[in-house]
Structures are given as structure tokens and as C-alpha cells.
Chains A and B, each alone.
Chain A
Amino acid sequence: MASTVIGAGITVEGEIVTDEDISIQGVVRGKIDAKDAVSIEQGATVEADVSGSEVQVGGHLTGNVRATDRVVIATGARVIGDVKSARFTIQDGAQFKGHVDMDV
């Protein structure tokens, strides 16, 4: 389990900064800045710029994503925003709209 969990039913409006991994099941509006993995779970709604080592999206995300390792947009997820990461996966059934920058 992630060290920081924003559970379903919890809404955060503002800036979240963490050195560890974070799991979001609720709602976040603002900014997420993690040094470790960021997981936006199914059912979560995020309207924020997200940065982390690894960003997994299963829910709804509106905002730009930046990852030092990789970005995964899972089945059922919906992402609107630009993605900047060396590795980028969009699984079958995921929705995505935005630019991709893989540092090529």
C-alpha cells in the first residue's frame, strides 16, 4: 500500500508534495509532485499537473504528466493533457488526448 493515500470521498484542493509514493482514489485539484510513484486509481478524478518517477493512471486525469521513469494509462482511464516521459504505455481501452514527448 502506498504511504500516502487520498481515499475515495476525500477532495484535496491545492498542492501535494511528497518524497514517497502516492495513491489517489479521491479527487485532487491543483498539483501533485512526487519523487516516487503516483497512482491515480480507477474512480479517481485528478485535475492537476502530475509529476513522479512512475505515473499510473486508471481514473480520470486532466493535466500534464511528467515522469522520470514511465507513464501508464490503463484500460478505462481517461487522460487529457501532455505527457513527457521516456517510456509511455497506453493500454487497450484507454482514452487519451494530448501531446507526447518521449525525449527522442
Chain B
Amino acid sequence: MSASVLSESTSIRGKIRGEGDLEIRGRVEGEVAIGGELVIAEGALMRASLSGSRVVVRGAVLGDISASEAIVLEESARVVGNLTADRIAIALGAQIRGELRMDVPGDKVEARRPATAAAPRTTPAAVRPAPPPVRREPLPPVRSVVVTRKAPEVVTQVQAPPSAPSHSSSSSSSSGPKAPPSPVVPSIKKGAKAAPKKKTA
């Protein structure tokens, strides 16, 4: 008995069932459920739910995948669908959008895993937002702090020499103040320093 293969140019619309291994290089629309190893080769296009003892994906799959042993998404795999298996491997470069479900013994463990996994992401995000609500009024300052750090310098410098805007005004208008300040700064300092020196002198 030779292994079952669907070539690149082969497309099947319907159900594929049975025992044994199957390699799909072409297209399938429908459902594939086999007892052996199912290989979705690179370049294959599946619009189907897949199941097998072991499912190896190198192509594109739109549909849910389940395996009694393992699901392996290799580098070139692109999957949109949910994966269900005891063991799931996703290679670097594989792309998936969907839910992964591994039958971890005990619901508690299963419940904790997603919680802990989700927690570190949510908590830092939540913690950081949390203080701001308390300091909601300070919040704008927080943003402005970043701005003000730059702004005070700009403002003071700009205020010191009113002639500076005139120099910068020629180059730019509203967006100018942010970018120009740095180039303007030296001239301002020079002018500022020069003025006091002249005054002192």
C-alpha cells in the first residue's frame, strides 16, 4: 500500500476520511479526517478542518486542526483556525491566528495557565494605567512633562530672544517649534550670552 498523496495540481472538494498517512500538496475544500499522519505541504491550500494522529503543516490552512498525538506548524505554515492536541509545536516563522488548546490534566492547571499567561501582560498594563487614574489630573502633566522637559528649554530660549521665532518662522510654521528649537538653541544661546557680555562689558 503506497502512501496517499494529492499533488500540487489536485483539488478536492468534499470529505477525505480513512486510515493511513496522507500528504496534501494541492487544494482541499471541506474536511480531512484520517487515522495516520497528515502532512500539509508547502504551497498547499486548505479550506478545511483537519484531523489525524499527527498533523504537520507547512502550507496554508483555513480551518480547525485537531490531532490525537501532535500538531506541528513548521516555518512556512500559515493557519487561521483553532488547534487542539496534546502536543503542539510552532516553529519560528509559522503564522497562526486562532486558539490553542492542549488537554492539560486537570481543569485547574488549565485554568491557571491562561490566567498566568494573561496576567503578566494585563497586570503591567493595568498597573500603569491604575496609578494614572488616581493622578488623572497629573496625567496631562505626565505627558506634558516629557514635552515640558523639552518645552521649558524651548520656551525659555524662545522667550529670551523674540527674534528667534522670526528666524524659524521662515523655515516652518506650526510644526517648526518642535524641530527648529534645537537649531535655534545655539543661536539663541549665542545671542543670550552675547547680550549679557555686551551689557556687562
Interface positions of A (Cβ within 8 A of B): 1, 3-20, 22, 25-27, 30
Contact = CB atoms under 8 A, between A and B. Distances in A.
B14 A20 contact: no
Contacts of B2: 1, 5, 7, 25
B1 A25 contact: yes
Nearest to A16: B12
A17 B7 CA distance: 10
Contacts of B7: 3-4, 18, 20
Interface residues of B, number: 26
A39 to B, nearest CB: 12
Interface string B76-114: 000000000000000000000000000000000000000
Given A5-B4, A5-B5, A11 B10 contact: no
Interface string B1-37: 1111111111111111111111000100010001100
A9 B19 CA distance: 5
Contacts of A8: 1, 20
A19 B26 CA distance: 11
